[in-house]
Structure 1
Amino acid sequence: MSSVLVTGSTDGIGAEIAAELARRGHHVVRHGRRRPDPRGVGDFVVGDLASLAATRAMAAALPAVDVVIHNAGWAPRGDERPVTADGIEETFQVNVVAPYLLTALAPPSARLVFVSSDAIARAKLDVDDLQLARSWTADAAYANSKLALTALAFALARRRPDLRCNAVHPGWIRTKMSDYSAPFGVARGAETPVWLATSFQPAAVATGTFFHDRREVRLNEQAYDPAVQEAVVRHCAVLTGIDV
């Protein structure tokens, strides 16, 4: 059985991913911004992904695992562009920079699963303005951050052929991010991420691919463009001072 880190696993899809992996006998390391009631939680790591310092500290505290599921995500609300104490647009920091930094600093694993979204189908990255300083809206910030995350996953797959990296759209799932208005429950959202984390069939799960409902899909060609991938990596490297 594998050991798996699931970021953002105190509620929603992440909590169900962690629970399903545990039910299957895998060792799960859960993550959240705050430590919950310790009863029945098992291994747990704390880290605020909207802070570079907290993300670095989290990476230093992580045990070695076989698989990392980058599930934690954030969607802005309202009309004001949010900026963290690090001077980074918050959606981009949580959804892109934090997974980048954890990948760079945490003990190496053999498989990475990046929880993306079908919102990338409507996204368009300007490699000179990845944080949308000139044209920010809440919807564009979320969609573009998930496209940048997907490009990051594919950049890692291309740069490191020894590491299997995949992105996944979990579906429109009832969580607090969707205001619980979506048609599907968290079990449906967890199904494909769990499958990607535990499948040992390389022919079925090739690295550098995007999945929904266990089927490979292509939702935005920018994610597959090496120039876009490298632009995302370079921007994250500048923001963090670390190159993957």
Structure 2
Amino acid sequence: MSSVLITGASKGIGRAIAIELAHRGHRVIATARRPDTLADLPVDMRLRLDVTDQDSVDQAIREAGEVDVLVSNAGATVRAPLETVPLAEVERLYQLNTVGALRVVQGVLPAMRERGSGRLVFVSSIQGRLVLPIIGPYGASKWALEAMAETLAIETGHFGIKVSIVQPGAVSTNGAEQARSFIEEESPYAPLYRQLGALRGEVITSEEVAAVVADTIEQPEPALRVPAGAPAERALKARKEAPETEPFVLATIDW
């Protein structure tokens, strides 16, 4: 079985991945900014790791020992139209969702390369290939994450590193409810914001995403991009088939 380090394992998808992999017999190293939130997980190690803090990342990787698989899951989102979203929030998302992911990759990749084997699994989103209004900053950070991941697949494949990007759609975590929101009731974008639930589409569970991640890790030759669940498959298929001459939306917007 593999030794798997998971970022953002304290809740939601990351927690479900840790439980699923542990049940399958893998050596799981669960990490979070607050390791006390990992206390009830049935894993081998629980470490502090803040993807935005280089010292924290370095220390966690030293303590983790050999890592066969990195599951890059830590992330956050925000709700705001691009016209008014605070730029500091956009920078925060990039630091967490994109730069933070690369920071951890840079920590584990040298040892993987020297061994001639390793897996990098990025938990992205269908929003890494399409956009949703009012969640534009999050989508932009995931598009950037996917560009980075695909580049890593090209650069490191020669060294025996396999890269996969798991793309769920809407997931039944409390992430959406806890997202920072920067839109007032009187905003001209408020009618669009109220339709966001319908635009996000059908919801799947964290456990369903975790099963896809675990299956991907256990595949001898995993795909680069792996939709998580039927709703994601349908959305990404529709995006691929849509013309590039106009914006693509998942559902009709009622302005």
Same fold, TM-score > 0.5, yes or no: yes
TM-superposed CA distance for 1:13, in Å, is 0.8
Q: 1:185 to 1:142 in 2, by over 3 A?
A: same
CA contact (8 A) 2:118 2:162 kept: yes
1:211 to 226, 232, 237: 226
TM-superposed CA distance for 1:121, in Å, is 3.0
1:144 to 140, 143, 150: 140
* Counterpart residue number, 1:44: 46
Q: Note the residue ranges of structure 2 that are not aligned, 5 or more in a row.
A: 179-196, 241-255
Q: Secondary structure at the match of 2:4?
A: strand
Counterpart CA distance in 1 for 2:229 and 2:219 is 11
TM-superposed CA distance for 1:120, in Å, is 2.3
CA contact (8 A) 1:170 1:190 kept: no
Q: Note the residue ranges of structure 1 that are not aligned, 5 or more in a row.
A: 124-136, 222-244
Q: Secondary structure at the match of 2:203?
A: coil
Counterpart CA distance in 2 for 1:119 and 1:169 is 8
Deviations 1:71-123 (A, max 9, x none): 1111124532226xxxx911111111111111112343600100111112335
Instruction: Give the counterpart letter for 2:17 in structure 1.
Output: I
In the alignment, structure 1 residue 80 sits paired with structure 2 residue 80 = no
Pick the structure with greater CA Rg.
2
* Counterpart residue number, 1:27: 27
In the alignment, structure 1 residue 188 sits paired with structure 2 residue 186 = no
1:68 to 64, 67, 70: 70
2:217 to 186, 197, 204: 197
* Counterpart residue number, 1:91: 93
CA contact (8 A) 1:50 1:94 kept: yes
TM-score (norm 1): 0.71
Bigger helix fraction = 2
Instruction: Give the counterpart letter for 2:140 in structure 1.
Output: N
Instruction: Give the counterpart letter for 1:212 in structure 2.
Output: P
Q: 1:59 to 1:220 in 2, by over 3 A?
A: farther
Instruction: Give the counterpart letter for 1:64 in structure 2.
Output: E
Q: 1:72 to 1:27 in 2, by over 3 A?
A: same
Q: Secondary structure at the match of 2:97?
A: helix
Aligned length: 200
* Counterpart residue number, 2:103: 101
Instruction: Give the counterpart letter for 1:93 in structure 2.
Output: Q
Q: Secondary structure at the match of 1:193?
A: helix
* Counterpart residue number, 2:165: 167
Identity of aligned residues (%): 29
* Counterpart residue number, 2:245: none
TM-superposed CA distance for 1:139, in Å, is 2.0
TM-superposed CA distance for 1:220, in Å, is 7.9
Deviations 1:183-221 (A, max 9, x none): 322111212111111222x2xx24xx2111479867989
The more displaced of 187-196 and 40-49 is 40-49
Q: Secondary structure at the match of 2:141?
A: helix
Counterpart CA distance in 2 for 1:169 and 1:175 is 15
* Counterpart residue number, 2:186: none
Counterpart CA distance in 1 for 2:238 and 2:103 is 25
* Counterpart residue number, 2:247: none
Instruction: Give the counterpart letter for 1:112 in structure 2.
Output: L
Q: Secondary structure at the match of 2:204?
A: coil
Q: 1:184 to 1:91 in 2, by over 3 A?
A: same
Equivalent positions of 1:9-28 (< 5 A) are 9-28=9-28
Counterpart CA distance in 2 for 1:219 and 1:157 is 25
* Counterpart residue number, 2:57: 55
Counterpart CA distance in 2 for 1:32 and 1:219 is 35
